[in-house]
Amino acid sequence: MRVLDYSGDGTYFLNDDALELDGLRSSGPGAILAGEPDQAIAAAIERALRVPARDGRRALDLIFAAPKPVSVLLAIEPRATASAVVELHDRAVGAAFSYLRDEALGAAAGAPSAPRAVGFTHGVNRLLDPHLHTHAVLSLHDDRGVALSAQSVRSHAAAADALYLAALRDGLPAAAGRDAWVTPTGRTHVDGVDLGLLAATSAPRDRLGRVERSGTKSHPSAEAVRAHWDAMLASYEPVECDLAPPARTESLDEYRFASTLGDGLVTRRHVVRAWATASPFGQDVDGVLASVGLVAPELAHGARRPAVVLRDDPGVRVLGARPLGHEALRGWLDGRAALDQHLARGFSLGHVLNRRGATAVERLSLARLDAAIVDTRRRDRVLPGVREVRYGRELS
């Protein structure tokens, strides 16, 4: 997600009917993201951009852009599927914007007034390549004219972007019958989308990796855009590269979580970003926020914690990667609490992993720990010396 200052009057958006999405959406390109839901789009954008005389600040342009493999689905899928992809994008934008509204602007904390924002969804870039994206024009004043914090929005932008992308990955199987996943390096892939097609539908970049923007903004008809896409599909050269999705997992990618979280003291927004980023096949926004609330409830009140504590290397080493599902995560945390109780008695973490050398008293505590975490630990990570409670024998 990009955050740009916006000083226009809304004409740029109001004059673009996004005809390329005709037949793929149930309404026009504009939608109320915050404010009176029944207001006309022109009136809503005019009111959002109304500038109080005392500060002259106008708005931010928040750009939520789908990864290219998702945007390409508009060109290669039947109309019904492409429409479901646009609807998924709109839902993901709405959920990510709600996070910004609630946590960056304090609406969830019972703020006396609410922000105003209007979203405009488009399906192409200036070169007419598939590019599904939404401009969310956010007023920098609430409905009383009180200034909002642009810095707070910018500081939460990375978390909002990660939430949006996680929601897309999570919803794509239902919308298009395709898996979407993120690689350890952060690249998004969609099952069945060829790399050659991605190259053919991507705007050229200069030697520094910056997009080369050329030409003026045009407003072609849906038929003209479809003809352009069909010609593109007929002429590109496929790349022989296997992009089959990895084994599906319902667990966090703990390595990516740790690398995204980094070091030092972190806040809730850092954990939200890391958790959403480390969900390989995605997770809905409510699920991410609920998981973060379970893992670090104190951060909801503005506290900071060392990243090393939230990475929880000892817990992950013993119990395996944390599950994404809310109830499964509760079970994992119950097992983590049992591990804490064991370690609080002065026993060694090393003996949890290798019982050799443990005293009789420590072995008794380990047996209690085994019973507490038998349903929490990953089945494919049975630890040496784990006691199988039902049969009363050692497994080794």
Q: What are phi and psi of 25, to 5 degrees?
A: -145, 160
Q: Which domain holds residue 337?
A: 254-395
Strands 180-182 and 188-190: antiparallel
Residues 288, 226 share a domain: no
Strands (E), the chain: 2-6, 30-34, 59-65, 117-124, 130-139, 180-182, 188-190, 265-266, 305-306, 386-388, 393-395
pLDDT tens readout for residues 3-36: 999 988 899 999 999 999 998 988 888 999 988 8
- Which stretches does DSSP call E strand in 203-350? 265-266, 305-306
168/258 same-domain check = no
CA distances from 369 to 363, 364, 377, 388, 391 (A): 10, 9, 11, 12, 16
Nearest by Cα to 288 from 34, 105, 95, 33: 95
Report the range out of 131-145, 206-220, 235-249 with the highest average pLDDT.
Answer: 131-145
Residues 282, 226 within the same domain: no
- For residues 188 and 312, state if they share a domain: no
Q: CA-to-CA distance for 63 and 4, rounded, in angstroms?
A: 8
Helix (H) or strand (E) holding 360, with range, is: helix 360-373
Number of domains in the chain: 2
> Residue 203: what pLDDT?
66
Q: In the prediction, which pLDDT does 372 show? A: 87
Non-local CB neighbours of 99 within 8 Å, separated by 6+ positions: 156, 159, 160, 163, 272, 285, 289
Is residue 172 located within the same domain as residue 312?
no
pLDDT digits (tens, 9 = 90+) for 308-355: 999 999 999 999 999 999 999 999 999 999 999 999 999 999 999 898
Q: Among candidates 333, 297, 308, 328, which has minimal Cα distance to 318?
A: 333
Pair 272, 389 in one domain: yes
| Range scoring the smallest mean pLDDT among 93-102, 103-112, 177-186, 374-383 | 374-383
> Are the beta carbons of 250 and 322 closer than 8 angstroms?
no
For residues 134 and 63, is the Cβ–Cβ distance under 8 A? yes
Domain-located, residue 241: no
Question: In the predicted model, is pLDDT for residue 389 greater than 60?
Answer: no
Mind listing the pLDDT tens digit for each residue in 270-303? 999 999 999 999 999 999 999 999 999 999 888 9
| Residue 349 maps to a domain | yes
